[in-house]
Chain A
Amino acid sequence: MSESAIETCLREVADWHVFDANVRMGRSGIHGGLALEPPELVVEMDRNGIEQALISHFTAVEYDAFEGNTALAQAVNQRLVPCWAALPETDFIKQLDERKPAAVRLYFAPLRHNFSPAPWCSGELCSFLQDGRILTLIAAEDIGWEALANLLENFPGLHVLLLEAGYRADRYLFPLLRKFPNLYFDSSTYLGHRQLECFVERFGPERIVFGSRLPLYTPGAALAVLATARISDQNKRAIGGGNLRSLLESSEQ
């Protein structure tokens, strides 16, 4: 190779000012050595041309949401933007409110925070998130399609960023996107052949944001998918970071 392959690979990425929507930090009992603390995480971000990341803490999902948020608060800075864990409990919502959150991540699954997205269980929490225009991240495997559709029906003002929808998702995803204008998704597992460019041809670039799944997966894969999509540079910049920045600014306002 005539020059370092990684330099070739990442040259154009730098122009996108990448803001990664799907990053986690801290020690993990499940993922062992793949989990990274902030200093190593930032090294990986630098190596892959990722300017900023919306991060969650493994402790918040694997052990205790409050403790995870406390650890997250100590790590955040200009580049590591917090995505707080949230529980459907009045006291927890009050504590969360004090943090002035722009983004939260909900873990409904039984082996995670084990609660229902239905109004009888999450009504107070989802109303709080909806009223505050707080971007609400949910992994597809943590909710399921029917429950997601019900959540969006019940809270039409809730801005939901669906993580890891998967490349098999389109028969569910497209009708949901058409019906619910506040639904967005991340690109981390949207990896079908030419799927990203076909999506942009059909829906435009506004509903998809870049995600890598760092530190468990290499960002090189998702970055290469975006880099090789036959879409305009303007659209690459929107997906690479612009869309997420707009969503978070909307939350903060």
Chain B
Amino acid sequence: MKSPVPIADCHGHIGVHPDFPSYKVEPAEMVQTMELLNIEILAVTSTRACYTDCPRGNAEVSEVLKRYPKQFRGYVTVNPQPQGEALRELEHWAHFHRPPLIKLHPYLHRYPVNGGGYRPVWDYANQTEAVVLVHTWDSDPACSPLLLLTIARDYPRTSIIMGHSGGTWNGYMQALEVGRQTPNTYLDITGSQSHRTILELLVKSVGADRILLGSDMPYLEAAVSLGRVLTAQIPDGAKEAILRNNFMRLLREG
């Protein structure tokens, strides 16, 4: 099985995880998986940055971008703590991509996405028309999709990707509510919970143009999201939009 159209994947990582063994995580091995599934572009975040160390993690992304400029795009991952580091990181790695790709992980950084520490980041994102990928989860006090409703309105020049779309069925409903009310938000289908009929519901409710394929590779197997999209009962045009066109548009490529 291979995607019939080259995929632009909005949600990938580099690195390992503390709580389970990771497999074939070297960038060269990831590229092999990408070729196998026909993933042309993968936007990656440093997992190290999501857990412990943004400067070192972003430097690792920089190295991967140098080695594989065609296949990878890089998010700059920032943490509101320690104070001031986030803006320094965004400016230091501003060359990763235009518009900037920014990753926030309020759950692992234990800081609410609407907290004051993130305000300079949102200001920067709004000024630069950045694409901001936020890890979201069902009703989580730090990263419920519903917390992004006000943020999306306050920072209308950003494009906000709701990572995992809240994850659970209820989380998806929260993300859908945000998507319905704000034009600058996108639903990322990354995740292991491949709810039956949810993709059809998203397309019907907010349109295929607001849905993005993410894989969480090399954390999750990228075929999970590919299989979900290919077997969904939606038009082929919607599948193409989700697999490729929507994220390419956000990247302003192609």
A binding-site residues for B, Cβ under 8 Å: 1-6, 8-10, 12, 33-34, 44, 47-48, 167-171, 189, 191-196, 198, 214-225, 227-228, 230
Contacts and interface: CB of A to CB of B under 8 A. Distances in A.
Contact of A225 (B4, B19, B25, B227): B227
Interface of B: 1-2, 4-5, 19-25, 29, 33, 36-37, 192-197, 199, 217-232, 236, 239-240
Contact of A6 (B194, B221, B231): B231
Contact of B223 (A167, A218, A228): A228
B228 A192 contact: no
Contacts of B226: 224, 228
A29 to B, nearest CB: 15
Top 7 closest pairs, chain A to chain B, by CB:
A224-B227, A220-B231, A193-B218, A221-B194, A220-B227, A168-B20, A227-B1
A12 B1 contact: yes
Contacts of B218: 193-194
The winner among B24, B37, B226, B231 for most chain A CB atoms within 10 A is: B231
A9 B219 contact: no
Contacts of A214: 196
B1 A8 contact: yes
B191 to A, nearest CB: 9
B224 A224 contact: yes
Given A8-B1, A218-B194, A223-B227, A1 B239 contact: yes
A193 B217 contact: yes
A219 B24 contact: no
A220 B230 contact: yes
Contacts of B195: 34, 216-218
Given A8-B230, A167-B20, 17 more contacts: A1-B5, A1-B240, A4-B236, A5-B4, A5-B230, A5-B239, A8-B1, A167-B192, A193-B25, A193-B221, A194-B29, A198-B23, A215-B196, A223-B227, A227-B1, A227-B227, A228-B1
Given A8-B4, A34-B196, A225 B223 contact: yes
A189 B221 contact: no
29 contacts: A1-B239, A1-B240, A2-B4, A3-B4, A5-B230, A8-B1, A10-B231, A34-B196, A44-B196, A170-B20, A170-B21, A189-B192, A191-B221, A193-B23, A193-B33, A193-B217, A193-B222, A194-B24, A196-B221, A215-B196, A217-B194, A217-B196, A221-B194, A221-B224, A221-B225, A224-B231, A227-B227, A228-B2, A230-B36
B219 A228 contact: no
Contacts of A193: 22-25, 33, 217-222
B84 to A, nearest CB: 35
B116 to A, nearest CB: 34
The winner among A12, A220, A222 for most chain B CB atoms within 10 A is: A220
Contacts of B236: 1, 4-5
Contacts of B217: 193
A192 B197 contact: no
A49 to B, nearest CB: 10
Contacts of A215: 196
A224 B196 CA distance: 15
A241 to B, nearest CB: 17
Given A217-B194, A224-B1, A224-B230, A194 B33 contact: yes
B188 to A, nearest CB: 15
Given A217-B193, A220-B194, A228 B231 contact: no
B31 to A, nearest CB: 13
A6 B3 CA distance: 11
B164 to A, nearest CB: 14
B228 A218 contact: yes
A198 B24 contact: yes
Given A167-B220, A216-B196, A218-B194, A228 B37 contact: yes
Contacts of B2: 228
Contact of B23 (A169, A194, A217): A194
Nearest to B194: A221
Nearest to B198: A218
Contacts of B230: 5-6, 8-9, 220, 224
A181 B192 CA distance: 28
Contacts of B222: 193
Nearest to A223: B227
